[in-house]
Amino acid sequence: MLVKEKTAMIKRIGLFAVVILCCFFASACSSSNQIQEQAETELTVSAAASLQNVLNEIKTDFENDHTNITLTFNFGGSGSLQQQISQGAPADLFFSAAEDKFQTLVDEGLIGEGKNLLGNDLVLIASKGVTSKVSSFEDLSAFETLSIGTPESVPAGKYAKEALSNLNIWENVTDKIVYAKDVRQVLTYVETGNVDAGIVYNTDALVSENVEIIDSAPKGTHEDIIYPVGILKESDHQEEAKLFYDYLQSEKAMAIFKKYGFKGLN
C-alpha cells in the first residue's frame, strides 16, 4: 500500500508540474503575442513639407525610446493634407504650417487635443551659383522668375503673397511667378536653377547647401507663422498618438526643432 500511495503521489506531483508548465508557456506565448501586437503599432503623421528633415531626426529618437511604435510621415502642403483628412484619409496626428488649415479640422470636429507648437520666418533665396546684385525683397524686379507655393494650399505661398502685397511688389511680379505644390518644391526649383529666386521658410533654406538667403520678410508684412499639432479623433491608436504628441513637446524634441531653425512658442 505504501508503494502504491507513493506512486500515486508522484503521479499527482508530475501532473501538477505539467499543468504549471502549460500555464507558464501559455502565459509566455500570450505575453509574446502582446509584445508582437504592440510592435505592429504604426502611427501616420500628416505633416507640413517644411518639417521633413526635423521630423525624420525626431522619428529616430522617438522610435529608439518607444520600440513598439513605428512612425510613418505623409508630407505635403498643409492645405492639401487638411483636405485629405477632411475627405477621410487615415491619419493619427496632423502637424500643420498654418493655423487656419488646422482650425478647419477643429471646426469639423476631427481634431481632439491640439497645441500651437512652433514658429518660423519667411525668407527670399537664390541659388549660390547665381551672381546678382539683388539684396532685398524690393529688388525682386531684377529677377526673371520667382517661385512660391500655391497660396490657396501652401501656407508659405500664402505668407509670401501677403508679404509681397504689403510691400507693394505683388502686382509687379505676378507674371514672373512659378507656383509649387509645397515649400520643398520651391526649394528644389531654386537649387536646380529652374527659377532665379524663391520664397521659403528660414528652416528650408538652412537645410540646403545650394541656396543662400538674400533677405528676410520684414515683420508685420505677413501673419505670424505658427505650426499647430493635434491628435485626430478618428485615430485607432489614441494612446500611442498621445505619446508622440507629448514627445514633440519634450525638451529633447524642442532642442532638435531649434537646431533646425524653428522657434519655440513657450
How far apart are alpha carbons 266 and 256 in whole angstroms?
15
Check whether 159 is labelled as a binding-site residue: no
Q: In terms of CATH architecture, what is 44-119+225-264?
A: 3-Layer(aba) Sandwich (3.40)
- 26 among annotated binding-site residues: no
From residue 92, how far is each of 61, 112, 184 by CA, in Å? 19, 11, 23
Tell me the pLDDT tens digit for each residue of 198-223: 999 999 999 999 999 999 999 999 99
50 annotated ligand-binding residue: yes
78 known ligand binder: yes
Q: Is the pLDDT of residue 17 over 90?
A: no
In 3D space, the residue among 80, 70, 84 whose CA is nearest the CA of residue 40 turns out to be 70
39 belongs to an annotated ligand binding site? no
In this structure, CATH architecture of domain 122-216? 3-Layer(aba) Sandwich (3.40)
CA distance 173 to 138: 11
Beta-carbon contacts of 93 under 8 Å, excluding residues fewer than 6 positions away, are 43, 44, 45, 46, 47, 229, 230, 231, 232, 235, 241, 244, 245
Q: Across the chain, what does the average pLDDT equal?
A: 87
Looking at per-residue confidence, does 242 or 128 come out higher?
242
Domains 44-119+225-264 and 122-216 share a fold: yes
Q: 3: helix, coil or strand?
A: helix
Residue 6 confidence (pLDDT): 47
Domain residue ranges in the chain: 1-32, 44-119+225-264, 122-216
Segment 145-198, tens digit of pLDDT? 999 999 999 999 999 999 999 999 999 999 999 999 999 999 999 999 999 999
